[in-house]
Every structure is written in structure tokens, then in C-alpha cells.
Amino acid sequence: MSTVAAAQPGDTADRVMPRPHLNSLFLPQDSSLRRGFISPNVPREAQFLAHFEDRCIFYDVFWDEAGKRILLHGPPPVNLAQHYRNARYTARPSGTRLRARGHHSQKVHIYSLAAPAGTTHLEVEFAGMTFTVPVGANYSSWFEGQNLLATVSKNNDLQWIADWARFHVVNQGASAVLLFDNASDRYAPADIEATLVAVNGLDKICVVPAPFAYQRPDNALPDNRFWAHFLQPSLFTNMFRRYAARASGILDCDIDELAVPLTDETVFETARASRSGTVYFRNRWIEPVPVKPRPDGVYRHRDFCLAKADDDVTRGGTTKWAMAPDRRWMQDLRVQPRAHLIINRPPLTRHKPGTAYIAHFRGISTSWKYDRRVTLESDDTLVEDTRLSALLKSTFPEAGSAS
């Protein structure tokens, strides 16, 4: 198991990336043009309509890792397909007209444009409108050689974020965190940065504001409920192409999930040793029943270790992944990471060894999707996950702060 290096005093500036931003392009508020729905005549729930992203053209515009191409990514066109096909791109200040090549999937459309060195802005002609957007830097060198822990988060308790990071530093050898903050209103990005700086063993920290709509399922289409789930897949594409290309390894793990090792090998080591450079993990739900109640009602990962007896990690569905992003097949822009899988991967690249599993905590949640409140009511169907319990005790032996 990897050892943990203590953070050095005064090294905050070297550890925290000056806050980057997404160079986004949206249709104007006063434009009548909007992205529409598939099956547009089907009635929709109010919650779906309130969170549907109908104005985004591109979530981000940035240089690729080699500094040769500009990458643009965003939602699929739906009814705007003709406008995307007719779009024109000009490099500024050179005035060079650029040709866009598409690398698309069901939920993320990527365009690559070979561009001259020195291009600082991209002029985009779209649906009779002209936009100018900055071309963002590529930050892959910032995370070069790091074991990167990546996630999207909104309003999760700061102590949860600290505990999540600390667990993976101690038990998986994580050395860096990339966190996309999806419009949290409980605190500022600087508060997340300060929280992560206090976690010993993190060498590199980056918090990226992503103040965009997070889509809800489309229950009007039960066979395709997540077709409009645009943002998270695009942010994972952003992570993969703008930040993580030179990382030693990447672990995809939400704040309510801990990658529990079953051997002395870390998930990063497993991914690097695999033929494909990828590894997938099974899921075990940890129920929102604390081992003992807390008088203040404030619960953390360490308070939960009970699971249903029939929820066996050897049979649970694969839920998360780790990868070594240096493999040749990953350079294809059609290869796109998602929360639960990597799409357009070649055959035989779904390695699933029993070196770890994902403990998924029902009690670590803001209940934004459905009610996941802590309950004190236990029953005979729950058993202690002894492996998880032991690791939580060894990682958080103190009674106070876990950072």
C-alpha cells in the first residue's frame, strides 16, 4: 500500500491550481433558438423542464494536450443539427478559417480543429450569429505523474469532501484531486480548495466551477430516461482531455463512494498493470444506518458500515473505473469516459479483478435526487462490512477532524 507524504507548510501556491474556468458558448437569452427534445410531443414533468439545458452550444473550448488542435465539446444537437453542420470557425488573430472534425457519442459531441500556433480566440458563426470565445490552456502538465481522483460535486458537506479525499490518499495512494463544482451555494470554490489543502498527501488540487444546469431524468421516456443527461458526461470528457492526459492514473469516484482495497495493490497499480490500462469495480451499498447515533445528528463516512446481507460485492454491478491514460487507444477522441463506463473502447478492455470494490454510502447525500436521510432503524437483514469498518477506523482514528 502506498505511503502518505505529509503536506509541507507554505506550499499551498504550488499545490492549488489558479482557478481555471470553462470557456463556454451559449445561445443568447433573447434568442428564440433553443435546443429541443427528442419525441417533442410527449408531455414532460416540470422538474425535467426546469433543468433541461436548451442554450448550450459548447461547454468548453481549449487546446488539446499536444497543443495542435482546439477541442470543443457540448451536448448533442437534437434539433440544432443543421446549425452545427453549417457552423464556421475562424482562428484569431490570424484569421485562418478552420475545418471542424466531429467525434461524437450519444451524449457528448466533440469537434477538433487543427489551428495555427498563437491562436488565442475562436470566432464561431452559428445560426446567423457570430461569437468570439477564448481558447483555454491545456492543464495536463499540472497533473503529470499524479494519481488523480476526479469527481463532480454540488453542495456536499466540506467534511465529507475532506474524508473522501483522505480515505483515497491513505488507502489508494491518490495524490491529486480534480473537482468540478456544479454551482454549489453553501460555500465558494475557495472553501473547497482550503478543505483539500488541509488533507495531507495531496500534491495537486484543482477546483473548476461548472455553474450549469444538471439535468434530471426524462420520465416521459422510460426506455431512454437519461438522454438529456448532458453535463456530467461533458465534464468527464473535459477532465480526460484538458487535465488528465499525463496523469499516472485516474480514479472516478463520487463523494459518497469509497474505493475499498481488498489487496495491497492500489486501483492505480491495477489499472497500470492491466493490458487495457483500465479496471472496473463492483458496487456495494452501505445503508444509512449509523453504528451508533450521534447527538448532533452530523454523520460522516466513518459512521456507516452496515450493508444488506445479500448485497455481495462479488455479484454487484460494475459501477466505477480507474485507468492509466497513456494507452494509445485512449487518444481516439471517440473514446469518452462516463460516470460508470468508458464508451467506444476497443474489445477486451473491461478488466474486472477483485482487488477493490466501491462502498456506496446512502447516508452521505444531500438527497437531491431522492430521499437518502439517515435512519436509526436497523433490522436483521443488515450485516457489518468488516473490511470497510476496519479501514474507516484506521484511516480516521481521531475523534475530531478527519483532515
Q: Is the pLDDT of residue 2 over 60?
A: no
Angle between helices 189-197 and 158-172 (to 10 degrees): 40
Residue 154, class by beta-carbon neighbours within 10 Å (0-12 exposed, 13-18 middle, 19+ buried)? middle
> Looking up cell 473550448, which residue turns up?
61
pLDDT band at 353 (very low <50, low <70, confident <90, very high): confident
| Residue 377: per-residue pLDDT | 76
Statement: 140-395 belongs to CATH 1.10.1060:
no
3-state secondary structure of 240: helix
CATH of 25-30+41-134, one of 2.60.40, 1.20.1250, 3.20.20, 1.10.3470: 2.60.40
What are 71's three cell numbers? Answer: 477541442
| Residue 315: per-residue pLDDT | 67
| Residue 19: per-residue pLDDT | 86
Strands 342-343 and 336-337: antiparallel
Q: Is the pLDDT of residue 9 over 70?
A: no
pLDDT band at 368 (very low <50, low <70, confident <90, very high): low
Q: How far apart are CA 226 and CA 272, in angstroms?
A: 31
Same fold for the pair 25-30+41-134 and 140-395? no
| Residue 400: per-residue pLDDT | 43
What are 264's three cell numbers? Answer: 495491497
pLDDT band at 319 (very low <50, low <70, confident <90, very high): confident
> Looking up cell 497500470, which residue turns up?
272
Give the tens place of pLDDT for each residue, 278-298.
999 899 999 999 988 888 888
Query: Domain limits of the chain?
Result: 25-30+41-134, 140-395
pLDDT band at 141 (very low <50, low <70, confident <90, very high): very high
Which pTM value belongs to this model? Answer: 0.92
User: Cis peptide before 288, with omega less than 30 degrees from 0?
Assistant: no
Cβ atoms 140, 242 nearer than 8 A? yes
What are 189's three cell numbers? Answer: 470554490
